[in-house]
Amino acid sequence: MGGMIFGDKLCSFRNPMVFIDYHNKLKGVILFGYSKNHNNKVVKTKVNMVYGKIYQFDINKKVKTNEDIIKMVDLQNEYCEINGDYT
């Protein structure tokens, strides 16, 4: 590909990003456009904010929707919290 590209480079994420290790029952979930507020509740915020967790999950609990992923209904043991922005 030749030539030059001008303008803003934008990347929009609409759904959570999920990484699963079935062997060790570990899951990493990254939510784009979410962060914790002053009450430690996860809420929708600016699009450049990220929030997530790395945790051990319960394989018997079924995660069917994006809402289930956002609530992390299968969380069994939390190892790490992810938060910040990507500006």
Read out DSSP for 33-73? TEEE-TTS-EEE--TTEEEEEEEEE-TTS---SHHHHHHTT
Each residue of 1-28: pLDDT tens digit?
566 667 776 667 778 899 999 999 999 9
Q: What is the pTM assigned to this prediction?
A: 0.78
Question: How many folded domains does the chain comprise?
Answer: 1
| Residue 23, in any domain of the structure | yes
Domain that holds residue 76: 17-85
CB atoms within 10 A of CB 11: 7
Q: Report yes or no: 42 and 31 within 8 Å, Cβ to Cβ.
A: yes
At position 33, the amino acid (one-letter code) is G
What is the spatial distance between Cα 87 and Cα 68, in angstroms, rounded to a whole number? Answer: 27
Over residues 49-76, the mean pLDDT reads 91
| Residue 6, in any domain of the structure | no
